[in-house]
A and B are shown apart, each in its own frame.
Chain A
Amino acid sequence: MLKISAVILQNLLRNKAIFGYLVLLCFTGWGMFLYESQPEKAVLSILQIVLLVLPLITLIFTTTYYYHSQEFLFLLLAQPIKRSDIFAGLYIGLAIAFLAVFFIGIGLPVLLFASGMQSLFLLLSGLLLNLVFIAIALLVGVGVHDKSRGIGVTLITWAFFAFIYNGLVIFMMYQLSDYPIENLILVLSFLNPVDIARIMVIMKSEASALLGLSGAVFQDFFGTAKGGVVSILALILWSIIPFWITHKMFRKRDL
């Protein structure tokens, strides 16, 4: 399994797109701090990168990479290797590559220029989002045979998590604003990994008290250590469930 990971990692390191992604993250991560005199502001800008760009690139790259390396995977499948090992190897290889890029591009500058609870949570949520979206991308790749349809599905997935879902929630808030909807929103925010990551970070920052009286529910939940642990567990769950489904599919299905 690890051998397969190593092979895939080697292949990924030679990949131009990964290199380009690294350059992009380095520019934003390091550049933001060098350009911006207020580190708090830079952290917020990086949060936007983590919430928007990171899922998009992870999703698109992983699905295309899966489609491209399908022949190689078939070759491997012809060997006496367990299917689950091949799949896990693929996932681990991709995860290591993305995490390394994320760490060099975003992690190092954030740790260097803005150490603090908020930055730590920013990095943690970034790392977990990587794992979540690699798993989701592989789910799409394995689930959808046609390549162009697959890419389309990933794009829609991205738009859904980044924009559409929040739009629906805000719409719902307007419709139900006369009711105590805090608990409902609390539950709804766990249905979107991007939201979990975002809330995890803002709860460690200035916003925690902004929530005011009506937001006491959020504060009681997310503001405490328990809330942090639950959010992290939720993100881990968000990566395990797609991984597990895909894993099952990959083992059983006629590829």
Chain B
Amino acid sequence: MRLCKKTLIWDTSIKWLLVKKMFFILLFTCFIFDAPVAGKDIHVGKDHTIQTIRQGLMKAADYDRLIIHHGVYHEDSLIIDKPIEIIGKQGAIIDAQNHEVDIITIVADSVTVKGLQFRNVGTTFLSEPAAIKISKCKYVTIQNNYIQDCFFGIYVGNSRHCRVINNHAEAAFKEQVSAGNAIHAWKNKHIQIHGNRVHGYRDGIYLEFVNHSSITNNNSYDNLRYGLHFMFSNHDIYQNNTFRNNGAGVAVMFSKKIKMINNHFVHNWGGSSYGLLLKEIVGGEISQNHFEQNTIGIVAEGATRIIISDNRFTSNGTALDMKGNSIDNQVVRNNFLVNTFEVVTNTRYNQNQYMNNYWSGYSGYDLNHDGFGDVPYRPVGLFAKITNSIPAAMIMLHSPLVNLMEMGEKVFPGLTPEGLTDEAPKMKPYAYD
């Protein structure tokens, strides 16, 4: 027994020694091979020998860190063509003084730009000058920067595996035609846009030919056109974002298989405004989103095979506008709470499936107590039909006569789309969160 214990102790101590040895060997090799990667620090600032960023960039070798200290630097057209890290200390501001050029252009892989402030990039329609432009790069990280009054904020072109994280872009454009986008991504793959705050631009986030990318936890508000704009982009996901008070919340156009999960579309309000526009898109998933106080929650034009599930539509003018060219979509398990119009359509034939939603306009009964009503519900009202042909008739909203006609139509449907029914509507709203 005793012997056994001894051997055990011996055994473990030997093992421990071996592990220690291995560790040192590893550390040593790391030291040898990583030595050039660590690079040296280059300080730029008033109190340092290097006064301008341009000088600092010239001095820097691959994998160096360029540390920019407090101060306003009147520089622009800075080209970063080697893998370095640029770190702005508190109060480091680069001011382009309304020159119509990029402040920083990144053309090398593995560049990091952190903690800087950019301002005053001028407006021109010949090129698209931005505070930070990334061109044909990989593994670039743009993090914690503050961008103010620049024509374009962050422009990511022709790149892969880039990350745009926790930046704040602000502008006060007045007109759509002369405004740029806060984050503009063109022809990219695998990029990540996370935790940014963008407001006052034309589009908060604009994506064109961007595939396999994720847009998460951003806050896009008060933009003139869209909070987020997809064009010809496939297999992307956007999640946990908030789109508030934009010209229109999100536009997804000519794209395939986009996942839209747990976003907030709030108060995108106005004559021709809406929370989410789906135009010519195929596949994809819209779930767990919250549409609140939008003129129209979702406009679906030519949307095909989309699953719209577990969303909340609260206090919208129209919750869902499903145009006649949208087919094979599934609208299931959503809450429709106090929307003036629940579903609107411009066709008499229904080619989409509506199932198990909660409609606050529903007044049926549930005899077998399974939680779903026994009487099918018709979410498209007669009045919606009338206003579709005569928009001015909207002034009759909530008039007793209209309600009477609506009631008659519910009993003997004649004008509203026949097949558009929810066969088993939920009796009580789903409890989310």
Q: Do A and B come from one complex?
A: yes
Which A residues form the contact surface with B (CB < 8 A)? 38, 40-41, 44, 47-48, 51-52, 162-163, 166-167, 169-170, 173-174, 177, 181-182, 185, 189, 194-195, 198-199, 201-202, 206-207, 209-216, 218-219
**CB-nearest residue of chain B relative to A53?**
B400
| 17 examples of A-B residue contacts, CB within 8 angstroms | A38-B360, A51-B399, A170-B393, A173-B393, A194-B400, A199-B395, A201-B398, A202-B397, A202-B398, A206-B293, A206-B317, A207-B398, A209-B317, A212-B391, A214-B391, A215-B271, A218-B395
User: Does B220 sit within 8 A of A, measured CB to CB?
Assistant: no
Q: How far is the CA of A219 from the CA of B295 in the complex (A)?
A: 14
As a 0/1 sequence over residues 379 to 393 of chain B, the CB contacts with chain A under 8 angstroms (1 = contact) are: 000000010011111
Q: Are B394 and A210 in contact (CB under 8 A)?
A: yes
As a 0/1 sequence over residues 274 to 299 of chain B, the CB contacts with chain A under 8 angstroms (1 = contact) are: 00000000000000000001010000
Q: How far is the CA of A198 from the CA of B390 in the complex (A)?
A: 19
Q: Are B399 and A215 in contact (CB under 8 A)?
A: no
* Interchain nearest-CB distance for B402 vs A (Å): 7
Within 8 A of A (CB), among B372-422: 386, 389-404
A182 and B400 contact, Cβ closer than 8 Å, known pairs A206-B340, A209-B273, A210-B295 = no
| Across-interface contacts of A181 in B (CB, < 8 A) | 392
Q: Are A170 and B315 in contact (CB under 8 A)?
A: no
| Across-interface contacts of B402 in A (CB, < 8 A) | 166
| Across-interface contacts of B401 in A (CB, < 8 A) | 162-163, 166-167, 170
| Across-interface contacts of A163 in B (CB, < 8 A) | 400-401, 404
User: Does B172 sit within 8 A of A, measured CB to CB?
Assistant: no
Q: Is the interface of A mostly helix, strand, loop or mixed?
A: helix
| Across-interface contacts of B399 in A (CB, < 8 A) | 51, 166, 195, 198
Q: How far is the CA of A169 from the CA of B402 in the complex (A)?
A: 12
Q: How far is the CA of A195 from the CA of B269 in the complex (A)?
A: 25
| Across-interface contacts of B269 in A (CB, < 8 A) | 209
User: Does B338 sit within 8 A of A, measured CB to CB?
Assistant: yes
A40 and B338 contact, Cβ closer than 8 Å, known pairs A163-B400, A206-B315, A209-B273 = yes
| Across-interface contacts of B293 in A (CB, < 8 A) | 206
Q: Are B394 and A211 in contact (CB under 8 A)?
A: yes
| Across-interface contacts of B318 in A (CB, < 8 A) | 210
| Across-interface contacts of A167 in B (CB, < 8 A) | 401
| Across-interface contacts of B295 in A (CB, < 8 A) | 209-210
Chain A CB within 10 Å — which of B395, B396, B397, B398 has the most?
B395
Chain A CB within 10 Å — which of B340, B360, B399, B402 has the most?
B399
* Interchain nearest-CB distance for B261 vs A (Å): 26
A177 and B315 contact, Cβ closer than 8 Å, known pairs A166-B402, A170-B396 = no
**CB-nearest residue of chain A relative to B318?**
A210
Q: Are A215 and B340 in contact (CB under 8 A)?
A: no
Q: Are A177 and B400 in contact (CB under 8 A)?
A: no
Q: How far is the CA of A216 from the CA of B394 in the complex (A)?
A: 11
Q: How far is the CA of A178 from the CA of B415 in the complex (A)?
A: 21
Q: Are B391 and A213 in contact (CB under 8 A)?
A: yes
**CB-nearest residue of chain B relative to A186?**
B395
User: Does B78 sit within 8 A of A, measured CB to CB?
Assistant: no
| Across-interface contacts of A214 in B (CB, < 8 A) | 391-392
**CB-nearest residue of chain B relative to A192?**
B399
Q: Are B397 and A210 in contact (CB under 8 A)?
A: yes
Pick the contact of B317: A40, A162, A207 (CB < 8 A). Answer: A207
User: What 16 additional pairs, Cβ within 8 angstroms, besides A163-B400, A167-B401?
Assistant: A38-B338, A41-B360, A44-B398, A52-B400, A166-B402, A173-B393, A181-B392, A189-B395, A194-B400, A206-B293, A209-B271, A210-B318, A210-B340, A211-B395, A214-B392, A215-B391
Q: How far is the CA of A38 from the CA of B337 in the complex (A)?
A: 8
Q: How far is the CA of A195 from the CA of B337 in the complex (A)?
A: 26
Q: Are A48 and B403 in contact (CB under 8 A)?
A: yes
| Across-interface contacts of A219 in B (CB, < 8 A) | 271
User: Does B270 sit within 8 A of A, measured CB to CB?
Assistant: yes
| Across-interface contacts of B270 in A (CB, < 8 A) | 209
Q: How far is the CA of A215 from the CA of B249 in the complex (A)?
A: 22
Pick the contact of A173: B272, B273, B341, B392 (CB < 8 A). Answer: B392
| Across-interface contacts of A198 in B (CB, < 8 A) | 397-399
Q: Are B398 and A47 in contact (CB under 8 A)?
A: yes
**CB-nearest residue of chain B relative to A214?**
B391
**CB-nearest residue of chain A relative to B401?**
A166
A213 and B272 contact, Cβ closer than 8 Å, known pairs A41-B360, A181-B392 = yes
Q: How far is the CA of A169 from the CA of B390 in the complex (A)?
A: 12
Q: Are A51 and B396 in contact (CB under 8 A)?
A: no
Q: How far is the CA of A109 from the CA of B338 in the complex (A)?
A: 19
* Interchain nearest-CB distance for B360 vs A (Å): 6
Pick the contact of A41: B273, B316, B338, B394 (CB < 8 A). Answer: B338
Q: Are A166 and B396 in contact (CB under 8 A)?
A: yes
Q: Are A170 and B386 in contact (CB under 8 A)?
A: yes
Q: How far is the CA of A10 from the CA of B273 in the complex (A)?
A: 55
Chain A CB within 10 Å — which of B340, B397, B400 has the most?
B400
**CB-nearest residue of chain A relative to B338?**
A40
Q: How far is the CA of A177 from the CA of B392 in the complex (A)?
A: 9
* Interchain nearest-CB distance for B412 vs A (Å): 18
| Across-interface contacts of B404 in A (CB, < 8 A) | 163
Q: Are B400 and A40 in contact (CB under 8 A)?
A: no
| Across-interface contacts of B271 in A (CB, < 8 A) | 209, 211-213, 215-216, 219
Pick the contact of A40: B315, B389, B396 (CB < 8 A). Answer: B315
